[in-house]
Structure 1
Amino acid sequence: MALRRLAGRILLHRVASLPPPRPPPAFLSSESRGHLLLRFSTSSSTPPHFMVQYLVSSCGLSPAEAAEAAPRFAHLDSASRPDAALAFLRSQGLSRAQVRAVVSCKPKLLLSDVEATLRPKFRAVRAVGLSRADVARLFALYPPALTFGVHTNLLPRILFWLDFLGSAKLLMKWLNKTWLLMYSVDILLRNLFTLRALGIPDSRITTTVRLQPTLIMQSAAKFQRLVGRVEACAVPPSSGMYMWAFFTLHNVSESAFPAKKAAVMGAAGCTEEEFDAMFRRAPCFMFLPAELLQRKVEFLLATAGCDTKYIVNNPVLLTLSLSKRMVPRCRVIETLRSRGVDIGKTNLRSIMRWSEAKFVERYILRYKQEVPELLELYPPRHG
């Protein structure tokens, strides 16, 4: 909480003190850009600028990348400033691959003043508790962070995620998967406020966002559309499944959802209200492809002895593997019956939901002497 309050204070100070935004500098026309690229390209009849070879040999860029980046250094007549920037990055523990990642993403960082621009950022991130190796990795994974103001963007974003995720380990894990620092803290806080305003407890929000931080890394408009999609599925914010529905719809596009819904409703013969009830109980079944959902429903109806009402009340069945769980278990029961083994009353609907250990103990290990082929039909495994 202390880190969150600190991030909030930094954010408020930023909003109050920042001058009005200035218009961006004019970009080169496409014609001028073409002339520059021609000048710096190694294929031109003009001798290439020395920075082309420098970017290849010192930074690890490909010749094509170097030729594209070289116009940014047109004014240089020596490599003294790039040398200083590279030397500093390497002194901070960045490997050659990490240096290449930084320079290929943001070539102009080679023009940075080390003491005024680069060193303060490394020092600030180290000060919040990240190791030297993690700081190097952070900037290599998200080079734009080296262009952030220390107190206006860099620290607020890092402090927000450290506080929210709870550890530097999780911060680095998610940085490796997504550009976690891309969105400003005010956007993230606004999206969190939207969820809290619905009455969703912080504990549920935190649990789900830690599973997928991109849930709150969205524009306000996109986030509100997602809230509206959950509402359209009749999932109330008071439900313990609300955040799982939110999580699911974040990962299932607006175009894919109707096809999956139609596949389930068509195969099960259920109404829209019944489908909404299924979604409220186990939203994550909608991660599966429409064709697989249809096959699972058909199997449950035709083979496992389920009816539509049972599937509607137990949609978690649709999250179980058809090839590794449902079909093999049915084969085991059929084999035991065909061999005349008295297994008592069996309910395939319930057996599908048994834990792996319970099923193996009850039907595989118990009868392996009488029906040894059971171990081939259903080899014991964890799960």
Structure 2
Amino acid sequence: MLRLRNHLFSGVRAAFPPPHHHPFSITTPATSPARFAAEEYLVATCGLTPAQAAKASKGLAHLKSPANPDAVLSFLTGAGFAKEDIAAGVARFPMLLCCKVDKTLTPRFAQILSIGLSPAQISRITSIVPQIFVAPSMIHRIQFYLSSLGTFDLLHVALKRYPYLLGQKLEVVKPNMALLLQCGLTASDVAVFAKLLTRKPKLAKEIVACAEKLGVPRNTGMFKRALRAVQCFGHDSIGAKMDLLKATLGCSEAELALAVRRAPQILTISEGNLSRTLKFLKVDVGLKLQYILLRPPILGYSMQRRLVPRHYFINILKAKGLVKENISFYNAVCISEKKFFQKFIDPHRETIPGLANAYATACAGKIPHGIKM
């Protein structure tokens, strides 16, 4: 343990050098020590923003000097932690600066290293869940997630999605994880549903059942989208959301049910956005409601970044006879940006000078005036 401590502190004294006294300096009479300015310290030394420091400093009001925070920063820097990770960790958990290096940080760091994480990986986790140094049970949970998810990157994704994941008992998490895997979700999918893992198992089962009631069967690609929609609104609110969608779209219950099965994500669209998109598609583009309902993903695309620019430029190409009049609008908007360029922009660069730049301008939210239909 002593060897580990000496290794961690070697080479880091330069980052926090001790004050140097000139040999001929004149000593002055002792004065009462200045009060530790925690807020200023957090900004100047730890790299927090003034807003973060104002909030975090409340947890450090009892400190009378920067001695212990300096020691903590020296340890973390010497252990290979990135400055931005340290700043994020301190902002989330200011009491990290109050930890004892010998009694807490050194043994916890060694314990986390022993489960297979590198210093850089521990640094990344600390930026999200700095409490790992004061809660030994979290280290055991990290080991479980590494084993269950398979990679550190997926664990990192899960923690970014839901930092409180390490605070939940594994007795709750394990049955929920098994349930999601039974539904056909992969380890990557499970990482995205980190919050669902922490729900009471009974509630998790109700959420899964509600997703199935939407008509989306398990073990399909759409099921995770249905789960996300149910989790977003709560299984007890989906009925009200369905009624709102039906009224906004002006369709029958059967038509809505089919649309939701094909694109469960439309449940997450706000009423305002849905109304605006529907009006644009029906009035400006001239699509029939039946056409839209049979292709519900179209309702989820951004009007500013996709629907409006592509409609505008498809019309330019139609006016110049460069594409067929009966081209499918849905096929034109559902393809990726790269494929849209390859199919509709690149072949006509010479025919219509400035077409590519004009399209980029349109996607940024401003329809250009230099290109005319």
- Residue 138 of structure 2 aligns with which residue? 154
State the partner residue of 2:171.
186
Give the one of 107, 113, 121 matched to 1:120. 107
Report the Cα distance in structure 2 between the residues aligned to 1:86 and 1:358, rounded to whole angstroms: 49
Question: Counterpart of 2:274?
Answer: 293
Counterpart of 1:143, as a letter, is P
Partner of 1:11: none
- Percent same amino acid among aligned pairs? 24
Q: Please state if 1:249 is matched with 2:237.
A: no
User: What TM-score do the two structures reach when normalised by structure 1?
Assistant: 0.64
Shift of 1:189: 0.6
Structure 2 residue corresponding to 1:142, chosen from 116, 129, 133: 129
Query: Is the counterpart of residue 321 in structure 1 residue 306 in structure 2?
Result: no
1:236 CA displacement: 3.0
| CA shift in 2, pair 1:128/1:344, >3 Å | same
Tell me how far apart the structure 1 counterparts of residues 323 and 87 of structure 2 sit (CA, whole Å): 69
Matched residue SS, 1:218 = coil
TM-score, structure 2 normalization: 0.66
2:95 is the alignment partner of 1:107: yes
Q: Residue 160 and residue 331 in structure 1: after superposition, are their counterparts in 2 closer, same or farther (change >3 A)?
A: same
RMSD value, Cα: 4.5
Conserved? CA contact 2:56–2:94, under 8 Å: no
* CA–CA separation in structure 2 for the residues paired with 1:346 and 1:224: 44
Query: 1:246 offset after TM fit, Å?
Result: 0.7
8 Å contact 1:157–1:181 — kept in the other structure? yes
Alpha-carbon distance between aligned partners in 2 of 1:367 and 1:96, rounded to the nearest angstrom: 49
Q: CA deviation at 1:122?
A: 1.2
Q: Distance in 2 between matches of 1:345 and 1:157?
A: 57
Give the whole-Å Cα distance in 1 for the aligned partners of 2:254 and 2:126: 49
- 8 Å CA contact 2:176–2:204 kept in 1: the answer is yes
The answer as to whether partners of 1:191 and 1:220 remain within 8 angstroms in 2 is yes
Q: 1:371 to 1:157 in 2, by over 3 A?
A: same
CA distance in 1, matches of 2:121, 2:260: 40
Moved more, 348-357 or 91-100: 91-100
Residues 365 and 107 from structure 1, CA distance in 2 versus in 1: closer, same or farther, beyond 3 angstroms?
closer
Change (3 A) 1:80 1:365: closer
Question: Given the alignment of the two structures, is residue 53 of structure 1 paired with residue 36 of structure 2, yes or no?
Answer: yes
Higher RCO (CA 8 Å, separation ≥ 6 residues):
1
Pairing 1:224-303 to 2, within 5 Å after superposition: 224-252=205-233, 261-262=242-243, 264-303=245-284
Conservation of the 8 A alpha-carbon contact between 2:345 and 2:355: yes
CA deviation profile, 1:196-244 (whole Å, cap 9, x unmatched):
5xx413xx24231233433323344553453344244233335432222
Alpha-carbon deviation of 1:259?
Answer: 7.3
The question of whether the paired residues in 2 share the 8 Å contact of 1:268 and 1:298 is answered with no
Match of residue 334, structure 2, among 331, 353, 357: 353
Q: Equivalent residue of 1:352, what SS?
A: helix
| C-alpha contact (below 8 Å) 1:227/1:246 kept by paired residues | yes
Q: Is the 8 A contact 2:59 2:94 kept in 1?
A: no
1:121 CA displacement: 1.8
Deviation at 1:157, TM superposition (A): 0.9
Cα distance in structure 2, aligned partners of 1:274 and 1:215: 30
Relative to structure 1, is the Cα distance of residues 104 and 368 closer, same or farther in structure 2, using a 3 angstrom cutoff?
closer
How far off is 1:50 after superposition? 8.1
How many angstroms apart in 2 are the aligned matches of 1:57 and 1:328? 48
Count of residues paired in the alignment: 322
Q: Cα 1:255–1:301, aligned 2, differ >3 Å: closer, same or farther? A: farther
Equivalent residue for 1:163? Answer: 147
- Structure 1 unpaired stretches of 5+: 1-48
Cα distance in 1, alignment partners of residues 258 and 318 from structure 2? 35
Go from structure 1 to structure 2 and tell me whether the alpha carbon gap of 1:325 and 1:123 turns closer, same or farther (over 3 Å shift).
same
Q: Corresponding residue for 1:3?
A: none
